[in-house]
A and B are shown apart, each in its own frame.
Chain A
Amino acid sequence: MEYHINLPVKQKLINKLAIGDIVYLTGTVYTARDKAHLRIIEYSKNKMHIPFDLNSGVIYHCGPLIRKEDGIWKVVSAGPTTSNRLLDLTPYILEKFNVKFLIGKGGMVGLADEFKRHSSVYLAYTGGCAALASQLTKKISAVYWEDFGMAEAVWELYIEDFGPLIVGIDSHGNDIFKNVKESATKSFKNVILNR
Chain B
Amino acid sequence: MEFICDKEITYDTVVKATYTILKDSQTNLPEDIIDALKTAKKDEMSDLGKAHLNAIIDNIELSSQKGIPMCQDTGILVFYVDIGKSLTLNFDISDAIKRGVDKATKQIPLRPNSVHPITRINSGNNLGEGIPDINFDVFDGSGLKLTVAPKGAGSENMSALRMFNPNTPISTIDDFIVETVLNAGGMPCPPVIVGVGIGGSFDKSARLSKKALLRDINSMNTHELSVLKKINSLGIGPMGTGGKYTAIGVLINKAFCHTASLPVAINIQCWANRHSSILFEA
A residues at B contact (CB < 8 Å): 20, 22, 62-65, 67, 76-79, 81-82, 84, 105-107, 124, 126-135, 149-151, 164, 166, 168, 176-177, 179-181, 183-185, 187-188, 191-193, 195
**Residues B178 and A188 in contact, CB atoms below 8 Å apart:** yes
The 8 Å CB contact of B178, one of A81, A135, A192, is: A192
Which A residues are CB-close (under 8 A) to B81? none
Q: Which residues of chain B in 211-266 are interfacial with respect to chain A, using CB atoms and an 8 Å cutoff? A: 230, 233-242
Distance in angstroms from B152 CB to nearest chain A CB is: 8
**Residues A132 and B58 in contact, CB atoms below 8 Å apart:** yes
Distance in angstroms from B79 CB to nearest chain A CB is: 21
Which A residues are CB-close (under 8 A) to B124? 149
Q: Look across to chain B and name the residue whose beta carbon is closest to the beta carbon of A34.
A: B120
The 8 Å CB contact of A105, one of B70, B175, B186, B235, is: B186
**Residues B72 and A78 in contact, CB atoms below 8 Å apart:** yes
**Residues B122 and A149 in contact, CB atoms below 8 Å apart:** yes
**Residues B271 and A128 in contact, CB atoms below 8 Å apart:** yes
B267 an interface residue at 8 Å Cβ cutoff? Answer: no
**Residues A129 and B179 in contact, CB atoms below 8 Å apart:** no
Chain B residues bordering chain A, tally (CB within 8 A): 53
Asked whether A64 and B185 contact (CB < 8 A) given A126-B239, A128-B59, A132-B62, the answer is: no
**Residues A130 and B239 in contact, CB atoms below 8 Å apart:** no
**Residues B73 and A177 in contact, CB atoms below 8 Å apart:** no
Interface of A is mostly: mixed
Which B residues are CB-close (under 8 A) to A135? 62
User: Could you write out 24 A-B pairs with CB less than 8 Å apart?
Assistant: A63-B111, A67-B109, A76-B72, A82-B154, A82-B187, A84-B187, A106-B185, A106-B239, A127-B239, A128-B59, A128-B152, A129-B56, A129-B59, A131-B59, A132-B55, A133-B72, A134-B68, A135-B62, A177-B185, A180-B235, A180-B240, A181-B185, A184-B234, A192-B230
- Interface-central residue, A106, A128, A150, A193, by most chain B CB under 10 Å: A128
Distance in angstroms from A62 CB to nearest chain B CB is: 7
Which B residues are CB-close (under 8 A) to A67? 109
Which A residues are CB-close (under 8 A) to B237? 180
Interface of B is mostly: loop
Q: Besides the contacts A131-B70, A188-B179, A192-B178, what 17 more A-B pairs have beta carbons closer than 8 Å?
A: A64-B72, A77-B72, A79-B72, A106-B185, A124-B239, A128-B56, A128-B73, A128-B189, A129-B70, A130-B59, A131-B63, A131-B66, A149-B112, A179-B242, A180-B235, A183-B235, A192-B230
**Residues B186 and A62 in contact, CB atoms below 8 Å apart:** no
Distance in angstroms from A143 CB to nearest chain B CB is: 15
B residues at A contact (CB < 8 Å): 48, 51-52, 54-56, 58-59, 62-63, 66, 68-74, 109-113, 122, 124, 152-154, 157, 171, 175, 178-179, 182, 185-189, 230, 233-242, 270-272
In the assembly, what is the distance between CA of A184 and CA of B178, in Å? 11
Asked whether A177 and B51 contact (CB < 8 A) given A81-B154, A130-B69, the answer is: no
In the assembly, what is the distance between CA of A62 and CA of B92, in Å? 37
Which B residues are CB-close (under 8 A) to A164? 51-52, 54-55
In the assembly, what is the distance between CA of A176 and CA of B271, in Å? 21
**Residues A188 and B182 in contact, CB atoms below 8 Å apart:** yes
In the A-B complex, the 8 residue pairs with the smallest Cβ-Cβ separation, listed nearest first, are: A127-B189, A106-B187, A131-B63, A129-B59, A184-B234, A77-B72, A126-B55, A130-B72
In the assembly, what is the distance between CA of A180 and CA of B48, in Å? 12
Q: Look across to chain A and name the residue whose beta carbon is closest to the beta carbon of B189.
A: A127
Which A residues are CB-close (under 8 A) to B240? 106-107, 124, 177, 180-181
Distance in angstroms from A186 CB to nearest chain B CB is: 10
Which B residues are CB-close (under 8 A) to A168? 241
**Residues B186 and A107 in contact, CB atoms below 8 Å apart:** yes
Asked whether A180 and B242 contact (CB < 8 A) given A20-B48, A132-B62, A187-B234, the answer is: yes
Which B residues are CB-close (under 8 A) to A149? 112, 122, 124
